[in-house]
């Protein structure tokens, strides 16, 4: 959905125009968030430079981005000296 950039902001632009399993999964999460449902923290790893690499929570983070700021979003953030070798980066 992100046109191969892996950036959430790029995926958000495509949510309503590209039909994928992720786009379909976002709709119920959006509805739940709008009723006040909360979810566990997202999990990310620092890349040692400036980026956070999301490890768990792609559907939720995309839904949060679609809705825009509604308060803080909790993250668990780890570090790894080998994150640059991770194949899903």
> Is the distance from CB of 35 to CB of 71 less than 8 angstroms?
no
pTM for the full model? 0.75
Question: E-strand spans in 1-89?
Answer: 42-46, 52-56, 75-79
| pLDDT per residue as tens digits for the range 65-89 | 888 878 888 999 998 878 878 776 6
Contact 52, 12 (CB under 8 A): no
Are 40 and 73 in contact, with CB atoms under 8 Å apart?
no
Distance, in Å, from the CA atom of 30 to the CA atom of 21, rounded to the nearest integer, reads 15
């Amino acid at each position: 959905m992100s046109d191969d950039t892996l950036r959430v902001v790029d995926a958000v632009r495509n949510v309503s125009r590209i039909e994928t399993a992720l786009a379909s999964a976002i709709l119920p999460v959006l509805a739940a968030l709008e009723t006040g449902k909360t979810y566990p923290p997202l999990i990310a790893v620092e890349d040692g430079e400036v980026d956070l690499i999301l490890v768990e929570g792609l559907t939720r983070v995309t839904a949060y981005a679609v809705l825009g700021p509604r308060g803080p979003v909790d993250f668990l953030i780890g570090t790894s000296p080998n994150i640059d070798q991770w194949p899903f980066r």
